[in-house]
Structure 1
Amino acid sequence: MRLSEEDRTLLINRVNIIFHVAASVRFDDPLTFASKMNLQGTKEIVDLTKEVANLSVLVHVSTSYSNTNRDPIEEVMYPPHAEWRDTLKVCESIDEHTLRVLTPKYLGELPNTYTFTKQLAEHVVYEYKGKLPAVIIRPSIVISSVAEPMPGWIENFNGPTGILVACGKGIMRSIYSDADLKPDYMPVDIAIKNIIAAAWARGTKPLSPSDDIEIYNCCAGNLNTLSVGELVQIGMSLAPKYPLNDMLWNAGGSITTSKNLHYVKCIGGRNRWRRRNCMNISCINLAIIRLVKVQRRIYIANLALRYYVTKQWTFANSNFVLLRSSIKEKDKEQFYYEVENVDKYQFFVKCVIGGRRYLLKEKDEDLPKARAHYKRMLILDYIVKCVFYGYIAWCL
């Protein structure tokens, strides 16, 4: 769907600030689709921007993971992994089947089409340094809000909130990662404040032909770190206080770096749900089908994330930190941001409550009922373990 001529004319004459945030964030998109959304889409935004009569700034939102073949990842423009114009031509000229076969070779060191096309999209913008007043923002894993629009607000299952919800429901029994790994998380409201501040910093100064395009790694970096092990521990400590409604099994989830053990645990979790639902013969078929589908989706999602949850990167964020010091005193209440003073435990308390409210649409007044169900699941889990290990001992 394209802009009508009337809408395009309106934007060209009335708009001063452009935030380019739209993208396909799926890791398994075919190269043709990912290029159309992330690469061609950026080109069309830049083409529109060049026509804007009184442009103050173009803010292009990329991702911190656009250069995962490097470590550390600094706030600089790295060489492209391909020529973006050639990539668009390849996607237009080669049939879908052939392109699927060639895609792994074409991506080179990058893990998927999302990372690849986002990396090239940065170069679409960067070609206009000194010609367009632009900045590039690279957020890391965007998660629940600290305060705005309300504490713990979130609208998707990406990142640690999805893990907490899946473990809290008793669906996810295994996490394929390293307990010492420290992923980089960025609360959504802090990311947005950084985006607005970067737009202000670029938009309030005149454009010079010698100007570079400022790049901001919107990351926590070393300011505030959280390991996968700490995340799981926090989640387990919050489960009795803020249990989710209608848990399918006792809240849990252990970390393993073994692919085989992870697979066995996933299968074991599926069998455990089957045993539980055998207690209610009337709904066994429907329950098993539903749970197997959910478990399959989680397993496939973990496969897609495997590259990111088994590797460690160091993100430099000096531009991100320096920018906040330039915010005027009168604007600090609304736009000043900091990551280092966010209390991790209290933050994830808000994340869990926010996940219940905004993702699962569960009501706070249902908490007493959910806690009672949680206790029943604890007892059931204990009984099943006793029976299972007792049977093993008897057999031996």
Structure 2
Amino acid sequence: MVSIPEYYEGKNVLLTGATGFMGKVLLEKLLRSCPKVKAVYVLVRHKAGQTPEARVGEITSCKLFDRLRDEQPDFREKIIVITSELTQPELNLSETIKEELIECINIIFHCAATVRFNETLRDAVQLNVTATQQLLFLAQQMKNLEVFMHVSTAFAYCNQKQIGEVVYPPPVDPRKLIDSLEWMDDGLVEDITPKLIGDRPNTYIFTKALAEYVVQQEAEKLNVAIIRPSIVGASWKEPFPGWVDNFNGPSGIFIAAGKGILRTIRASNSALADLVPVDVVVNMTLAAAWYSGVNRMMKTITRLHKALMLLEYFTSKSWIWNTENMTMLMNELNPQDKKMFNFDVRQLHWAEYMENYCMGMKKYVLNEEMSGIPAARKHLTKLRNIRYGFNTVLVILIWRIFIARSQMARNIWYFVVSLCYKFLSYFRASSTMRY
């Protein structure tokens, strides 16, 4: 079997969600590790007065692409920006662009989605389900498409304790739901949302499950693979440790806790935080596309956030996922690919990763200077010593009060016993005198 870089050589890749957290990491990794890839077509929409070209230019100028710029100064020439709106019929593409994509695309990575837990059902369906459906319609027309990679979530079926590597039947037909939402007003949609999502915690989870079903039902003869990452966090190693650029998921909690804004959170001590570094997810996604493209078979590759009330469902529960396909995929890689496209999370040193994660948020999200870290650590040590000292004094004080109360309790007990003894003595003496 060819290696992963060899597989991507000369290929034309279509990428959605390139402006998102995982999408931009995938774009960087693909261009850097597979330098002979022919072109990457990115579908981007206008946003906040910015053109798609300006948005992609801003992304490729950020810190994430520093290493790629050093190794391949002309990498930008391989990125072809396509103006598109995924929720519109035929992705709102011109006929010329559409024909070009139909003729040349070999691999599709569908990463675009809304990750807002409190998104309205209408918007969540449009962004997560309708967009997937429209992209599949285009993919079915592509003449040289080898694999369609759909990025889902490990929590798509979190209403079940044991989650298999299968697509489960949805509670509602996605096509009927899409048709119904066209004539429903916002009030009616809001009223029926709780009944529709049932025992799923939010519209994000609900619509990601529907999207998987759409992929399964409408992919027809396409070679499809689904990847289900869990809670995606900062990078582990690539392009450097700790890279993150948003407040989503655990990042917002870490920052709020680190800044002293968040002091408590409702959670269960027995629940596991299924956190996975973004570069692990990207490596696995690229490897899964390689495997699916080479073997031409449908595979589901699995396992691998803002009010706190929205997160309580996940911070108080744990799930068990089957990972046989991931293990199989890992065993299929040659030693060089295993090193270059490493997704064996068992090698991850969590203490080091979490430190890099926090440092990455400070540097890349908060844009703070790292020079103040020694002083901050010294200040933190001082506060910790103060807390330990206060706790020690408090324990001693409580102990003294307990001892004092114990002594008082003993004195009262002795007084009661003495009083009873005197009363009995008096009663016995009185009885003797009467007799």
> 1:82-115: per-residue Cα shift (whole Å, max 9, x none)?
1010110121111111110111011122221111
- Structure 1 residue matching 2:321: 3-state secondary structure: coil
Equivalent residues in 2 for 1:1-396 (5 A)?
Answer: 1=85, 2-128=92-218, 131-206=221-296, 213-219=298-304, 301-374=307-380
Which structure has the larger Rg over C-alpha atoms?
A: 2
Question: How far has the Cα of 1:183 moved from its partner?
Answer: 2.0
Question: How far has the Cα of 1:130 moved from its partner?
Answer: 5.6
Tell me if structure 1 keeps the 8 A contact 2:114–2:204.
yes
- Structure 1 residue matching 2:162: 3-state secondary structure: coil
Amino acid at match of 1:25: V
Number of residue pairs aligned between Structure 1 and Structure 2: 307
Question: How far has the Cα of 1:335 moved from its partner?
Answer: 1.3
Task: For structure 1, list consecutive stretches of 5 or more residues without a partner in the other structure.
Answer: 220-297
> Once the two structures are aligned, what percentage of the paired residues are identical?
36
Structure-1 separation of matches of 2:114 and 2:309: 18
Question: How far has the Cα of 1:128 moved from its partner?
Answer: 4.2
- Structure 2 residue matching 1:340: 3-state secondary structure: helix
Question: How far has the Cα of 1:361 moved from its partner?
Answer: 1.2
- Structure 2 residue matching 1:64: 3-state secondary structure: coil
- Structure 1's consecutive aligned runs of 4 or more residues displaced over 6 angstroms after TM superposition are 379-386
Structure-2 separation of matches of 1:122 and 1:146: 28
Question: How far has the Cα of 1:375 moved from its partner?
Answer: 5.6
- Structure 2 residue matching 1:51: 3-state secondary structure: coil
Question: How far has the Cα of 1:218 moved from its partner?
Answer: 2.9
Question: How far has the Cα of 1:163 moved from its partner?
Answer: 2.5
Amino acid at match of 2:286: I
Question: How far has the Cα of 1:373 moved from its partner?
Answer: 4.6
Question: How far has the Cα of 1:4 moved from its partner?
Answer: 2.5
RMSD of the alignment, in Å? 2.6
Question: How far has the Cα of 1:329 moved from its partner?
Answer: 3.5
Which stretch of structure 1 is more off in the superposition, 123-132 or 143-152? Answer: 123-132
Structure-2 separation of matches of 1:4 and 1:328: 42
Give the equivalent residue in structure 2 for 1:279.
none
Structure-1 separation of matches of 2:358 and 2:225: 34
Which stretch of structure 1 is more off in the superposition, 53-62 or 355-364? Answer: 355-364
> 1:267-310: per-residue Cα shift (whole Å, max 9, x none)?
xxxxxxxxxxxxxxxxxxxxxxxxxxxxxxx9x61011111111
Amino acid at match of 1:332: K
Amino acid at match of 2:212: E
Amino acid at match of 2:347: N
Amino acid at match of 1:51: Q
Structure-2 separation of matches of 1:351 and 1:218: 21
Structure-2 separation of matches of 1:3 and 1:150: 36
TM-score after normalising by structure 2: 0.66
Tell me if structure 2 keeps the 8 A contact 1:67–1:73.
yes
Give the equivalent residue in structure 1 for 2:51.
none
TM-score after normalising by structure 1: 0.72
> 1:115-135: per-residue Cα shift (whole Å, max 9, x none)?
111101111110146600110
Tell me if structure 2 keeps the 8 A contact 1:151–1:354.
yes
Amino acid at match of 2:190: R
Amino acid at match of 1:215: T
Tell me if structure 1 keeps the 8 A contact 2:105–2:142.
yes
Distance 1:335 1:372, change over 3 A: closer
Structure-1 separation of matches of 2:254 and 2:185: 41
